[in-house]
Amino acid sequence: MDNFNFYSPTEFVFGKGRENECGAYVKKFGGSKVLIHFGGGSVVRSGLLDRVKTSLQAEGILFEELGGVKPNPRDTLVYEGIRLCKDKGIDFILAVGGGSVIDSAKAIAVGVPYDGDFWDFYSGKAQIRAALPVATVLTIAAAGSEGSGDSVITKEDGMWKRGAGSEHMRPKFSVMNPELTCTLPAYQTACGATDIMAHVFERYFTNTTEVEITDRLCEAVLMTMVKETPRVIEDPNNYQARANIMWAGTVAHTNLVGVGRAQDWNSHGIEHELSGLYDCAHGAGLAVIMPAWMEYVMPHNPMRFAQMANRVFGVAMNYENPTDTAKKGITAFREFLRKIGMPINFAELGAKEEDIPTLVEKFGLGETGKTGGFVQLTSESVRAILENAVKASL
């Protein structure tokens, strides 16, 4: 186990009807003039936005509104949000929505106290040193952004998708009412579930040894997702399954399941190029990329994949041939994805084989560049992974 810091100071306010307590929590964490940031009309139509506003008004908290966040949230709206906050003297940002809305809110939050271009934080040019406080009312179990210090934004000019991270970006509180996720279409529910599992897998496949506690915690989240996801696909109103998934999504991404070990994140990196190019759902892109990546890197440590296969998917251990167990684990993962309605190859995602050179180039390794992680990747490896994703079948 490596040295680490673990710091997750977000207060999670979980359960039925908790959005009605928003105002009290904004007050607890010092907000007096709030920007309510949201996406499309669903939070308006569902009445959620009204309940949030009522709760803020009950505490005498002033607010402005900025909607319009799209999936793969854009830099353009972030600039608009920063201007609005500066003009109106906003001191607290409340994101009402899913990962895209929260990521956009975090970008606005770091942009307000910064004199330069907020994109500097995402392009790696500058380090985040301050932010307005952010809080969330979560409506989709997926990104884990409600409990993380990370944010991913897409630059509209060129569709560059890049991430930033900082302690300052961690939400002060996150309201999580599983009821709010019951109206999600099955496809989005499944995309979210895939993203949650990917957040765990990115941490699970590591070269750090002797990390039993985090291995077991990873497996706990994965087993929960394997059990509960098909239940909500079958019955969208299953509150209990929704609740288990929603909390699993947070546990998957506060970094509790990843401390003390090297992590990978190459699947996320490659997928960002896919959703950047095709504007597809992040989870759907991960469903295609993650198993393709697994196939490519598995020979590096078949026993780790056999452990996953056995402990998470219940594949019987083949002691004479652990690689066989490992392969069956990857197949079990793809079968699970198919069962919940996810694409498993380029064609099903709507991606094109002829774009592979573009995707490899955008990932930006150059001819000799290598990424870190479980297995270091060259441009050639990324190409091979994408080719796995083209030909994947069941």
Between 6 and 45, how does the x/- string for binding to a second copy read (CB under 8 A)?
Answer: xxxxxxxxxxxxx---------------------------
Helix (H) or strand (E) run with residue 386 in it: helix 379-391
244 belongs to the binding site for a second copy (CB under 8 A) = yes
Of 149, 102, 148, 159, residue with least CA distance to 252: 148
In the bound state with a second copy, the residue whose beta carbon lies nearer, of 10 and 345, is: 10
In the bound state with a second copy, the residue whose beta carbon lies nearer, of 191 and 200, is: 200
Helices (H), 252-320: 266-278, 282-297, 302-313
Q: Both tokens of residue 134?
A: 């952010």
Q: CA–CA separation, 230 vs 146, rounded Å?
A: 23
Q: How far is the CB of 217 from a second copy (least distance, A)?
A: 5
Q: How far is the CB of 288 from a second copy (least distance, A)?
A: 26
Q: What is the DSSP letter of 315?
A: P
Of 176, 255, 192, 230, residue with least CA distance to 338: 230
Between 258 and 297, how does the x/- string for binding to a second copy read (CB under 8 A)?
Answer: -xx-------------------------------------
Q: Which of 193, 256, 290, 340 binds a second copy (CB under 8 A)?
A: 256
The residue to which tokens 């992040």 are assigned: 282
Q: How far is CA 272 from CA 163, 198, 320, 372, 394, in A?
A: 10, 13, 38, 17, 25
In the bound state with a second copy, the residue whose beta carbon lies nearer, of 9 and 364, is: 9
Q: How far is the CB of 239 from a second copy (least distance, A)?
A: 8
129 belongs to the binding site for a second copy (CB under 8 A) = no
251 belongs to the binding site for a second copy (CB under 8 A) = yes
The angle, 0 to 180 degrees and rounded to 10, between the axes of the packed helices 186-204 and 282-297 is 40
143 belongs to the binding site for a second copy (CB under 8 A) = no
Between 201 and 240, how does the x/- string for binding to a second copy read (CB under 8 A)?
Answer: --------xxxxxx-xx-xxx-xx--xx-----------x
The residue to which tokens 């892109």 are assigned: 285
Q: How far is the CB of 251 from a second copy (least distance, A)?
A: 7
Q: What is the DSSP letter of 74?
A: B
Q: How far is the CB of 351 from a second copy (least distance, A)?
A: 33
Residues 6+ apart with CB under 8 A from 356: 383, 386, 387, 390
In the bound state with a second copy, the residue whose beta carbon lies nearer, of 16 and 45, is: 16
Residues 6+ apart with CB under 8 A from 370: 376, 377, 378
Q: How far is the CB of 218 from a second copy (least distance, A)?
A: 8
135 belongs to the binding site for a second copy (CB under 8 A) = no
Of 311, 297, 314, residue with least CA distance to 215: 311
In the bound state with a second copy, the residue whose beta carbon lies nearer, of 245 and 377, is: 245
Residues contributing to the site for a second copy (CB under 8 A): 1-18, 209-214, 216-217, 219-221, 223-224, 227-228, 240-241, 243-244, 247-248, 251, 256, 259-260
